[in-house]
Structure 1
Amino acid sequence: MMNVAVMGYGTIGSGVVEILEQNKDIIARQTGDTVNVKYILDLREFPGTPIEKKIVHDFSVIEKDPEVSMVIETMGGLNPAYPFVKASLQAGKHVATSNKALVAAYGTELLKIAEENQVNFLFEASVGGGIPIIRPLYTSLAGEQIEEITGILNGTTNYILTKMDKAGETFEEALSKAQELGYAERNPEADVEGHDTCRKIAILTALASGHEVNYEHIYTEGITNITDVDFRYADALGTSVKLFGSSRISDQGVHAFVAPVMIGKDHPLYSVNDVYNGILVKGNMLGTSMFYGSGAGKLPTASAVVADIIEALKNPGHHVKMGWDGNRLNISAMDSVSFRYFVRIKGIAAKRLAEAEAAFGKVEVTELDHMDEFAVMTEVMTEEEYHLRAKKLSGIRQRIRAEI
């Protein structure tokens, strides 16, 4: 029997406990062993519940108990998650976490501590909710040179963009509905400004390349500037707009970004809607594989945490080689990344198209009825070239990057 402690009995933590109880026979059959939740660390009391006697308020109880061989961190944030996780690993305990902020900020250090103590620091649930993506990168795809990862990595923003696309809602209306349904926090900044997606693509890039990635060096743009008018044009063009986290990995470094991207109906991620996530991974031998599923929610995310518990249960006293080293990967400037560009311009095409062509070269024009503007789609150019050309044209109302 493996004794575990769960730190944080919120949405994900309670889901982990629920799955461990409900699927205990399945887990025992798969591993030949059982899991016992010995402690639950939380500030609250839960009188009259099945977990009442498991509640502790002092982390040192968990840290100093030699019978606890694994700690589950579902508190979120960096403090006290970071010192508690670090101390758990140093005490020779496996750790599984759903905390992408922790992994992105301190993953390099915590992976090293885990290796030094011959335990495991596991974080399947930190990216993609219930989608298996972390483990495939260091098992099934371990023999591949990963060249590119592109994904819809945030369920909240994907829900908002889907409502704007399919129901014609404004950003504010879609965000309000997401908050009502519990998909978005009261303060949605981490989601809608792209910070959550940034940390996730940093983790995937580090795992795929084997080197540390500083998420603060990744160009990040959220969805707050996307409007319902943009989706009217997208509909006319047979496209949609998705928030992408993307990285292209080469010997020279990495092009990585988070930004809204306009994609066509033939793109594999076009039909990834609502709170679902989709991730494309391109290997040098395999080609492109797609991972799809629920990107958020209590039980899907908790299921990924339980998968890490099973991984540790199958490897008692053994460190699983995975992660990345401390050699920081060079993130190339966004200026060198190439796209096509969807550009909305004040005025009517009959009078201003020549100006647009003088600035951007050959363009495709789209006009909507009863609008004092028109839109063009440029040919492929770098980000730097776009900015230089855009300076030649007045009245630009919107710019959205588009797939090549």
Structure 2
Amino acid sequence: SEAPTRMAILFAGCGFYKNEWWAKSEGKDMQLGKVLAPLNDFRENMVFIRGLYNKEALKGNIHSSQTGNLLSGAPLASGGRIQSGTSVDQYVAQRIGHQTKIPSLVLGCEKPNAGVHKNYSLLYSSHISWSSPNTPTPLEVYPALAFDRLFNNEAQVGDRSVLDAVLGDAKDLRNNVSRLDQQKLDEYLNSVREVERRIESAGRRGELQGWRPTLAKPDMPRPKDGYPQDIVEHMRLMSDILVLAFQTDTTRVCTLKLNNDHGTLRFPHIGVDYMAHHLLSHNDNDDWLKVNQFFLEQMAYIARRMDAIKEGERTLLDNSMLMLCSSMITGHHDANQLPVVMLGSGGGRIKGGQNLDYLGKPDRQMSRLFLSMMDKMEVRPKIFGDAYKPLREV
């Protein structure tokens, strides 16, 4: 059987240099604006999407109100209250997550903000992944802990056998039943243990599925404890962990939040250390362009690594949907259209080299793209957010 399809969503806050976020032509003839230059090698594997928007995000016209529902299209509560919608990554994870060790991976490279800004909670600008309308999915910003979640069996209750999970209750029950019932209970527990052993053995032999991941154990060392002080190292570690999670089939759903939408990151490695990211975003200048390109380089790095991993006739990138987006097109809070670029073919079901423009067209909801992506993950709701039908081209 074929390798499974994976879905990864990268987020960069505060939009991009608008005049350099563009694509012309298609396929090998596609030309890209300077912001997208790091993706030049992937033009034939790319879907550039212009004109999608999140209608609910237009109501607040501020960072928090444009980010908290980016992946759900749901209305947001104001006044410091928390009310959004289940995000597309978690919607998918809640339906297919049982097939992998962990349902999803939610990574970040900047710690969440607290407080309220212009009547909206800053939790919105710090989280794109939501497990429920009232619950932002905990954001893992420590690379070592993200690594442990993937590969440290002792840390995961979900890795314990079904029998171990109920053994305590079974022992209590055994003390309160007849000898005959004790014998029946022992027989039942032994049968459960035997089934588990057979499943585990079959899994090792590859009998449970025709496809097996190309890597069974991590091929990178455990990152150092603590919060990285170097943003280059931080993003690289989280990118490697994302790729490793997909390659080992530890999860098939991941979000990577490169920064907060109201973020304070600085970038001394490219000579932009005089102003925090959020403030810098209000200026379309050369330094803002350099920062934009740095974020796109992270996507290119992930794509390059995934493209080098063979999975049968395809690569890991072929078997994935890797999307990068922001909650506004520019740092001036313009959310009438959202910047979106995708790499990968979703298991051979998405045509690469496309340049799509929905601006000015009806039914240009961002949630239509999510319906298309969910379809490739074998999750097919009739409605998601404010969308009733997927994008035909994706």
TM-score (norm 1): 0.24
Larger relative CO (CA 8 A, sep 6+): 1 or 2? 2
Higher strand share: 1
TM-score (norm 2): 0.24
